Structure 1
């Protein structure tokens, strides 16, 4: 009896503790859950604000940005990344809208010219010079066809991997073939050896052709083409003795539908897509294109492409 008495007291203490814990445990769990809910909610408030803002952004409200917390944690970096993504999306949307507007204008112009010529001729059908009218319509139709072809090529350059079916291409042979085409100003290809790059022959020919057409549009009477390679890079330089391009415009001329002041007349140029196409194709071939001063006093367009062995 003397030994059992202390054990009874210990057992009663344990029973009392169990009862207390069983009573208090639900309240403790509830308190911890409330604290966790409050802390997590506060921590995720910036994420919820970002979600609401992103949900409200549409094609017409691309200028909106998500709030960036004034911290240096992961949420702040996430907000910064999302805003950078929205910047790129806004730029892309604006470029697409501008492209559609410019393309619509360019397509509308030859159609309006064709319609005007035909309406004028029909008003005096018995006295109209129909062969001349037909020539004018065919000329505008050719310009319209060329514009549509350029727009389709631009779309394909943007979407396709031009190096998927690429092969070694002799840039000098391609340039010689393009230089042989009839232009207002004769093209001189300076002597040199073969220079090979990996690419699509038709697309590289289009680059050279566009550069020569652009030079012929503004040259007075001289266009020189030089081709050189150091084993790592093939460098093509197209020089003309025209008015040149001001340094401030040397990036802008590669934008789509860009015409400088001296080329605004439609009789002297195309739709302003030639250099944009050349830039797109060159960059898809992992090359660079830029404009410099020419020793002939005009413009020098330089194309650099990775060289390969034949």
Structure 2
């Protein structure tokens, strides 16, 4: 069992670690994507600011050779006309996207040198600007720039402007992406270092918490093993104070042990009582047979037959109780109680008190004809033993129930004993002879059969027994 618990702890720790790992990977990926996007947007904004500063100078009439351009390594800037000739370029800017800027200095003009304006994307896209205006629309592109022999990636902002003479130019300013990539790389490295450490912590904490949570289960297992070894069903497993699933498991286990103890005790009493009841007719029968062997003329054949019949009935009762205790389901036949009452009454011609038949209402019930007939016979036998001059049986309808009533004019059952009489081997009159009182199994069998047919059997008044069964179908 400890191996099973260890496996449960390992599975819980592994499962929790896997879930946390997936969650952290998803969250880390989302953080890196958002961080990269934000840093790119920031780089684009810086490039836009640099491009607008240069475009504003051009729009206000500053000569190209007088433009105040930012340092090339910080924000590489290239100004080209509509034909793609570089009019101005940042200091030390040698090429953009692999295309040389012609070594132009601010204001150099470098006619014929091809620059970024060669791209179709940099051509005039139909925007009509007035002299001295700067286009509000900005186009962002990723590319490379060669600054003083060093090639790096940049985020470029491209916009259009017209100088005071009406010449339209394209201003392209970049912002380095290396800080963004360095920041993303640093965060990624921190995540790669921190993620395994965090997963180790999660696995350890989950292992310890699962071990603590399963400790009561181990206590329950140990106590159950001790109970099994000792066969002492009076022992109970420890119940933790928590109101969780483990606590409910412990309480349910104790309830099961209590039911099992009660069942075993009931079985022991049943075996003891059955042995006691069987001992008397067997001993009597053996005595008569031994006397008959020694003195044939003294053999009481009628007495021997009576003891044999009594023994046969007791064995049949015990066998039926055993089948009922084993959970045998009754047959699903349709039984008419009124017809069953008429048939049973017609066969009881030798009863001490004649059976009177009252109302016999229609209505069928589902179940075993033989078992229900046994119930009726046991109720009539009980009434015959206690009646003074009258036994009456009737069948009535009560909504969705068929009710069989058997009553006699005897002294009745005391109120305190109306449930006790349905226990096995119980006789209220201990002084009466066994031959007259029976073994005390008839009413117990009758109630068990009634309950297994979905009904009930009870004493409604002192001498009225009422069997209630649901109408079939």
TM-score over 0.5 for the alignment? Answer: yes
The alpha-carbon distance between structure 1 residues 191 and 40, as it changes in their structure 2 partners (threshold 3 A), is closer
- Paired position in structure 1 for 2:362: 194
Q: Deviations over 1:22-71 (max 9, x none)?
A: 7x998876665444333221221111101111111137311111111111
* Counterpart-to-counterpart distance in 1, 2:312 and 2:265: 26
The alpha-carbon distance between structure 1 residues 150 and 263, as it changes in their structure 2 partners (threshold 3 A), is farther
Tell me which structure has the larger Cα radius of gyration: 2
Asked if the contact 1:224/1:238 (under 8 Å) is kept, the reply is: yes
Asked if the contact 1:179/1:212 (under 8 Å) is kept, the reply is: no
- Paired position in structure 2 for 1:256: 424
Q: CA deviation at 1:206?
A: 1.2
Q: With structure 2 as the length reference, what TM-score do the two structures score?
A: 0.56
Q: With structure 1 as the length reference, what TM-score do the two structures score?
A: 0.83
CA root-mean-square deviation: 3.2
- Paired position in structure 1 for 2:129: none
Unaligned runs of at least 5 residues, structure 2: 1-147, 152-177
* Counterpart-to-counterpart distance in 2, 1:29 and 1:202: 69
Q: CA deviation at 1:127?
A: 7.4
Which of the pair is proportionally richer in strand?
2
Counterpart mapping for 1:159-174 below 5 A:
159-162=327-330, 164-167=331-334, 169-174=335-340
Counterpart mapping for 1:244-283 below 5 A:
244-261=412-429, 264-283=432-451
Counterpart mapping for 1:95-244 below 5 A:
95-122=266-293, 125-126=294-295, 128-130=297-299, 132=300, 134-158=301-325, 159-162=327-330, 164-167=331-334, 169-180=335-346, 181=348, 182-244=350-412
The alpha-carbon distance between structure 1 residues 230 and 32, as it changes in their structure 2 partners (threshold 3 A), is closer
* Counterpart-to-counterpart distance in 2, 1:37 and 1:174: 68
* Counterpart-to-counterpart distance in 2, 1:237 and 1:302: 5
What is the aligned length?
A: 297
Q: Deviations over 1:232-254 (max 9, x none)?
A: 11111111111211111111111
- Paired position in structure 2 for 1:42: 212
Tell me which of the two structures has the higher relative contact order, counting C-alpha pairs closer than 8 angstroms and 6 or more residues apart.
1
Q: CA deviation at 1:171?
A: 1.0
Deviation larger for 40-49 or 148-157: 148-157
Asked if the contact 1:195/1:227 (under 8 Å) is kept, the reply is: no
Asked if the contact 1:106/1:271 (under 8 Å) is kept, the reply is: yes
The alpha-carbon distance between structure 1 residues 146 and 26, as it changes in their structure 2 partners (threshold 3 A), is same
- Paired position in structure 2 for 1:304: 468
Which of the pair is proportionally richer in helix?
1
Unaligned runs of at least 5 residues, structure 1: none
